[in-house]
Amino acid sequence: MTDRFLTLEALTRRFGDHVAVNRVSLTLARGEILALLGPSGSGKTTTLRLLAGFESPDAGRVLVEGADVTGLTPAARRFGMVFQHYALFPHLDVGANVAFGLESLGVRGDELDRRVTKALALVDLAGFEHRRIAQLSGGQQQRVAVARALAPEPRVLLLDEPLSNLDPTLRERTRRELRDVIRRVGITTVLVTHEQEEAFDLGDRVAVLREGRLEQVGTPDELYGAPATPFVARFVGRASELRGRLLGRTSEGARLEVEGCVWTVPTGDSARSEIAPGAAIQILLRPEALWLAPLHPGALAATVLERRFAGASALYLVRTEAGTLLEVGGPGAAATAGDRVGLAPSRRSGGGIHLFPT
Amino acid sequence: MTANTRAARLPAAALLLILVWLVVYPLLLVLLEGIQGPGGWTLAHVHEFVARPTEWEALRGSLIISVASVVLAALVGIPLAVLFARYDFPGRRILAGLVALPAVLPPLVGVVAFLFLYGESGFLARAVQAALGLEEPPWRLEGAPAILLVHAYSMYVYFYLLVRAALLSLDGAQLEAAASLGASRGRTLRRVVLPALRPALTGAALLTFMTALASFSAPYVFGGGYRVMTTQIVATRLNGEEALAMVETMSLTLLAVLALTLFRDADRDPARGVGKGTAPAPVRVRRTLARAGLAVLGWGLAVLLLLPHLTLGLVSLVPVGTWTVEALPPAWTLGNYATLVRDPVRLRPLLNSLALATAATSASIVIGLAAGILVVRRRAPGRRLIELLLGLPWAVPGTVFAIALATAFSVHQPAAGRWILVGTVWILPLAYLVRSLPLTSRTTLAGFRALDPSLDEAAAALGAGRWRTLTAVTLPLLRPSLVAGGTLAFVTSLGDFVTSIVLYTYDTRPISLEILSSLRQADVGVAAAYGVVLMILSGLVFAAAADRRTSAG
């Protein structure tokens, strides 16, 4: 990365004995959008609050363009924040809400009006100045919150689960609009979400957090194609899990022993060099990584328990002889419940099978 | 401990110091005076207390009155609640509000109103006397029955308000579920409705018990020879037996604390409601006759309950000395009110009360706000103790606090935090302040708790400093809570009698004492006029507050 606009340096925050954020380090380029993704309790919201200045870290620093802002108050950081429940001031109208941050900067008179108008136009709410907050729909409130955060032209925009409060039907459209606004303004942005789709759609890069630690940070493609840990593999996209042993590596790929079968899987990240031949391994499989065929020698025998229809393709829930449950993708008519099938690595898949030491 | 919490240490310590000085310290001094004699520590006063049958009589009297008040208030309040919550009839809405009125009126006004209506020379007694041609008044309003009548008449409101609210928040679907599971009406009532009402019932019982235990006006005016502890304390003190009065004060405090603890244990209820339901619709009474009957019943009850206050209005219009034996007053005039306004000596108490109540309420709101910020927002160390101390004056009878403050602030010992305030203009506002702390702090703390903390954070993120966040965001949003708490505090201070009678000076005499002295001088019309003024002022404050609340929403 050429420029480091925003840097989180080994941020740590404890609540009593519980370490909510554990040495998290991240760097954002100017104008980059980073999504913090993780299940609840992973420390993503605490990380955002440390950035905003609502919490102070027990260790670590926050830097903007090389300058330490860790000791600054939220007001002095000049970061904009959109809260999960928006935190719009119910006693002020839309215009006064948007003007609030500008007034803190001493903006008055015509200049104030002009910039409020501009901020509202940005989120497509021109002319809404005198509406009361209670009169707005959920989507409109979200946009006012974004306009309010952006109006003082902050250095960094922070978004806490910006879409979680919206109707599912509204979420996709609002997501698109939000992405457009952020891109147009070109502001460096950190957003928190527990929804993978949201993180992938909005973030240039995604940081996956688990129990306060940073598991992996990368582009959506990197996270899906080369998960660094079994947790990332399971949390990002669908994945089933098998136990096995690494037999060795050949030019065609890695040779694995899985519940009595021998599979050769294409090398990718799966040929991790730190795993010694003969070692027990954990195998995480994407649904598209396996090929579902009639029972044949060399294939892993399994029974179809359930077929979930998904248009042109289907997702099959199968159980191997050893009792392991797997999700396998396939054509809509490949099998029906109760069928005995054979599982083998799909030949066309260049990946989708990830090996981890146990 | 966050940085926020750490930074709140100093202000929290300051607030705790003020509260301990105002609330705990005076009570502690009472305890010390009770076990001290000229020769050092002694249990002589306690022995004296235990040995006197009259002391036990007063304690027993307080207890009997309190328990009986709970029973009577429940008997009036619960049916009334059911009537107004479950049945629909013409005028239901207006009446439902009207019958809650006695709760907002100063107790002394209620007592005086009673005197005029049911007293031996009251309206009703005269009517009966005239109708039957009796020589003597047909009854005397005196002793325990008189006290209980007044209590039942004013304290039913606790049962009425709480039970009605609980009935209105009942989940209609639960009743339907019980019916669909084959439960009879009786079984539904026993197994579904009553458990849901239990918190309201215990809450109302506790409120009634504590109010009755602390009640001073009714026993003072109607008690006659019947002893209760509140009046006993004041009498003992008037007799000059200071130390004994201290022991009595402690005994009443112990009784109050004991009752509170017992009720707390009874209120541990695991079966609180899960989820919100839609209240069952009020039963629309279809048959015309039944409907008319209910309306008559409702209106009749409301008139009966409000009759004393109407009487007060009537008496206030009667010129001095014109109404002697007639059933209805022969002459009507606004002269009493004119006296009240024109005579500076008689106007003074009104102005006093307004000034004292304003000062006490302002201070009480400031303390409530500080507590809200420290306890809820900053989660300051010692926040539980702060909250406990703010609530304490509610549990301790007013008489006790009056005596405690009189004891604490009649000595000049600046090193011990004691100054001579008794006899100065400062003691009454201080007493009103202590008494109104639970009222303002409860609403303010509830307001802070209902306020989304991210609103403060949003203001901070938008560059607002502490002061702007407080004035531009927090205070406007807290306004309904502040207005509600302030209103209660103001009206309570305005009509205070129980602490005033112990602590007032001639220059600071409040309305309640002027009512009493007017009564003593047989200046009945002016006393009634004061009562009406107090009622109207209280009503106006409440109406203004309600208006602000709705316009703010």
DSSP H or E run through A288: none
Measuring CA to CA, which residue among B449, B373, B400 is closest to residue B250? B400
A83·B462 Cβ contact <8 A: no
The answer on B141 and B75 residing in a single domain is yes
Measuring CA to CA, which residue among B106, B202, B214 is closest to residue B162? B202
Q: pLDDT, tens digit, for every residue of A228-251?
A: 999 999 998 888 999 999 888 877
**B337 backbone φψ class: left, alpha, beta (φ>0; ψ -120 to 50):** alpha
The answer on B394 and B297 residing in a single domain is no
The answer on B33 and B134 residing in a single domain is no
Domains: count for chain B: 2
Residues B55, B142: Cα–Cα separation, whole Å: 20
Q: pLDDT, tens digit, for every residue of A76-134?
A: 899 999 999 999 999 999 999 999 999 999 999 999 999 999 999 999 999 999 999 99
Domain that holds residue B211: 67-227+282-315
* Inter-chain Cβ pairs, chain A and chain B, closer than 8 A: 64
CB-CB neighbors (< 8 A) of B552 in chain A? 91
CB-CB neighbors (< 8 A) of A52 in chain B? 457, 461
8 A C-beta contact, residue A21 and residue A58: no
Residue B552 is predicted with a pLDDT of 45
Residue with tokens 């698109």: A176
Residue B191 is predicted with a pLDDT of 81
From residue B33, how far is each of B26, B229, B248, B249 by CA, in Å?
A: 11, 18, 12, 11
Residue B547 is predicted with a pLDDT of 67
Q: Judging by DSSP bridges, how do beta strands A33-37 and A18-28 pair with one another?
A: unpaired
Please, what are the domains in chain A?
6-233 (3.40.50.300), 238-357 (2.40.50.140)
DSSP H or E run through A109: helix A109-122
- Whether B322 is in a domain gets the answer no
To the nearest whole Å, the CA of A320 is away from the closest chain B CA by 43
Question: Which residues in chain B show pLDDT less than 70?
Answer: 1-4, 104, 266-281, 285, 321-328, 547-553
What mean pLDDT, rounded, does chain A reach?
A: 90
The answer on B288 and B155 residing in a single domain is yes
Tell which of B292, B315, B338 closes a domain.
B315
The answer on B395 and B310 residing in a single domain is no
Query: With 50 as the cut, is the pLDDT of residue A296 above it?
Result: yes
Residues A45, A190: Cα–Cα separation, whole Å: 11
The answer on B307 and B340 residing in a single domain is no
- Whether B242 is in a domain gets the answer no
8 A C-beta contact, residue A208 and residue A214: yes
Residues B460, B466: Cα–Cα separation, whole Å: 8
pLDDT-wise least confident of A16-30, A120-134, A333-347: A333-347
The answer on B298 and B422 residing in a single domain is no
Nearest neighbour of A54 by CB, restricted to B457, B464, B472: B457
A83·B458 Cβ contact <8 A: yes
Residues A132, A235: Cα–Cα separation, whole Å: 40
A152 touches chain B (CB under 8 A): yes
B476·A104 Cβ contact <8 A: no
Residue type, A244: G
User: Under DSSP, is residue B306 helix (H, G, I), strand (E, B) or coil?
Assistant: helix
CATH number, domain of B479, equals: 1.10.3720.10
8 A C-beta contact, residue A67 and residue A44: no
Residue B549 is predicted with a pLDDT of 53
Residue A53 is predicted with a pLDDT of 92
Residue type, A205: R
- Whether B246 is in a domain gets the answer no
The answer on B32 and B105 residing in a single domain is no
Residues in chain B: 553
- Whether B19 is in a domain gets the answer yes
A14 touches chain B (CB under 8 A): no
Residue B15 is predicted with a pLDDT of 95
A55·B464 Cβ contact <8 A: no
From residue B147, how far is each of A25, B150, B396 by CA, in Å?
A: 73, 5, 20
- Whether B270 is in a domain gets the answer no
- Whether B275 is in a domain gets the answer no
The answer on B337 and B303 residing in a single domain is no
- Whether B413 is in a domain gets the answer yes
Q: How far apart are the first and last CA of chain A?
A: 33
**Chain B residues whose C-beta sits inside 8 Å of any chain A C-beta:** 2-3, 452, 454-455, 457-465, 468, 472-473, 476-477, 552
- Whether B276 is in a domain gets the answer no
Chain B nearest-CA residue for A149: B462
The answer on B350 and B292 residing in a single domain is no
Q: pLDDT, tens digit, for every residue of A147-180?
A: 999 999 999 999 999 998 888 888 888 999 999 9
ipTM for the whole predicted complex goes beyond 0.90: no
The answer on B498 and B414 residing in a single domain is yes
Residue A270 is predicted with a pLDDT of 47
Residue with tokens 């209670």: A134
Query: With 80 as the cut, is the pLDDT of residue A264 above it?
Result: yes
Tell which of B294, B315, B336 closes a domain.
B315
Residue A267 is predicted with a pLDDT of 62
The answer on B419 and B351 residing in a single domain is yes
Average pLDDT over residues A33-39: 95
Residues A207, A217: Cα–Cα separation, whole Å: 4
Residue with tokens 């203001």: B459
Residue A2 is predicted with a pLDDT of 53
